[in-house]
Amino acid sequence: MTNVLIVQGHPDGAEQHLCHAIAQAYRSAAEAAGHGVTVISIAGEVIPYLRSKAEWEGVDLPQVAVTGQKAVQDAEHIVLIYPLWMGDVPAMLKAWLEQVLRKGFAFELYGRTWRPALAGRSARIIVTTGMPGAAYRWFYMAHSLRSLERNILRFCGIRPVRRSIFGNAEDPSGKAQARMLTTATRLGARAN
């Protein structure tokens, strides 16, 4: 059994989106396979944006950081699910990551060197995009996804980091979305 944290990164909580369905498919399959699952939906969180070095290094953490750090600490596998917005992670998800993965929790700095503090955890990034997945992967070089993988998750010691790019998210036939849900179900059952 694996303890899984799903971070549902779609910032719109007013209605259900494809990312919500993907998270639910993953969660249902993981729970059916006996894995423990915690879900954080950032749309329901109050996430203050960090605006200064003093805020970044502050000791008085907002509740979202305290809750998020506890969930990350308890997780063995972290799943980030979000839509590609303007070629990047939605700002609200980025703000959540900045609040939660702070120095002293996710890594330590000693002069010019750092020590990652979240080793022993793996991650899966699931990103949805309206363009074909191959276009994002090869033409755009999955730039923002690679940055999230390398500069945030691996920097903190989380590895391996696997990725799933779900393209054609607005397919009017519904076939692409059905494939995405099938894949999310398969990944959830394996907690991968």
Say whether pLDDT at 186 is over 90.
Answer: yes
Residue in the structure block whose two tokens are 């999230």: 148
pLDDT at res. 192: 95
Q: What is the DSSP string of 53-111?
A: HHHHH-SS--HHHHHHHHHHHH-SEEEEEEE-BTTB--HHHHHHHHHHS-BTTTEEEET
Say whether pLDDT at 137 is over 90.
Answer: no
pLDDT at res. 135: 81
Task: Judge if the upstream peptide bond of residue 11 is cis by omega within 30 degrees of 0.
Answer: no
Backbone torsions φ then ψ of 161, nearest 5 degrees: -115, 115
Q: Of the ranges 47-56, 137-146, 178-187, which is most confident? A: 178-187
At 189 the three-state DSSP class reads: helix
Q: What is the mean pLDDT of residues 49-71?
A: 93
Say whether pLDDT at 56 is over 90.
Answer: no
Q: List, as own/partner pairs, every contact residues 44-51 make where C-beta atoms lie below 8 angstroms and the sequence separation is at least 24, other chains included.
A: 44/13, 45/96, 47/92, 47/95, 47/96, 47/99, 48/95, 48/99, 49/95, 49/98, 50/95, 50/98, 50/99
Backbone torsions φ then ψ of 78, nearest 5 degrees: -115, 130
pLDDT at res. 112: 84
Say whether pLDDT at 179 is over 90.
Answer: yes
Say whether pLDDT at 136 is over 90.
Answer: no
**How many C-beta neighbours within 10 Å does residue 158 have?**
23
Say whether pLDDT at 61 is over 90.
Answer: yes
Say whether pLDDT at 16 is over 90.
Answer: no
Token readout for 64 is 């979202």
**Segment 78-102, tens digit of pLDDT:** 999 999 998 899 999 999 999 999 9
Q: Which domains are present in the chain?
A: 3-190 (3.40.50.360)
